[in-house]
Structure 1
Amino acid sequence: MISPAQCRAARGLLDWSQQDLAREAGVGVVTIRQVEAGVNQPRRATLVVVRHTLERAGVELIDDNGGGVGVRFREVRRERRA
């Protein structure tokens, strides 16, 4: 889904504060703090909202593919002109 480290790293790429992410995702800043601290398991719906918010902002969350989870900017695909 999204790990605490991925959430922190994605915010870093976007130069967003926890408050910025909370506002964009429509959740409380305490919720973002809890997600990033990893002290308890947030509701799945909360993790989905946070992940989709980060993805809409241009971040790609990389699932564990044998090399570990990660975060990167999503590639911008440009249409070729004929």
Structure 2
Amino acid sequence: MSGSDEGEASGRSPNTMTPEQCRAGRALIDWSAGDLAAKVGLGEAMVRDFEGRRSDPSSGQVEALRSALSTAGVIFTDDGSAGVRLGRRGGDEGTRLDSLTTENDR
């Protein structure tokens, strides 16, 4: 189950996510279903229903969830079986405004 409007014959394309990957990705970054839902502007019930295989959301909704998890550092794998792992979290946010000086202004 990776979205009701998936067009690929196999049912999965490289940009889809299984309910299990969603749940495991959230666990890796310590997000609740509500945290993930809030990041993408969807309802918490939609996330819970997707992860519990009680609904089949559109591929756009699944991709929005996947994108939010990816941005937070979750890496989706498919090396024989679909999975997730944690990559770099947070990334470089740059120099904070109160730390700017003429030396680091370059």
Q: In which range does the TM-score fall when normalised by the shorter chain?
A: 0.7 to 0.9
Q: Which 4+ runs in 1 deviate beyond 4 A?
A: none
Structure 1 stretches lacking a partner, 5+ long:
78-82
What corresponds to 2:47 in structure 1? Answer: 32
Shift of 1:39: 2.4
Shift of 1:40: 2.8
**CA radius of gyration, larger in:** 2
DSSP-derived class of the 1:52 partner: helix
Residue of 50, 59, 72 corresponding to 2:85: 72
Name the % identity.
37
More helix per residue: 1
Structure 2 stretches lacking a partner, 5+ long:
1-15, 92-106
Shift of 1:58: 0.6
Shift of 1:26: 1.3
| Aligned AA (1:14) | I
> In the aligned structure 2, how far is the partner of 1:50 from the partner of 1:36?
11
DSSP-derived class of the 1:49 partner: helix
Residue of 16, 23, 33 corresponding to 2:31: 16
TM-score normalized by the length of structure 1 = 0.82
Deviation per CA, 1:34-57, whole angstroms, max 9, x where unpaired?
110112321010001000000000
In the alignment, is residue 6 of structure 1 matched against residue 3 of structure 2? no
| Aligned AA (1:32) | V
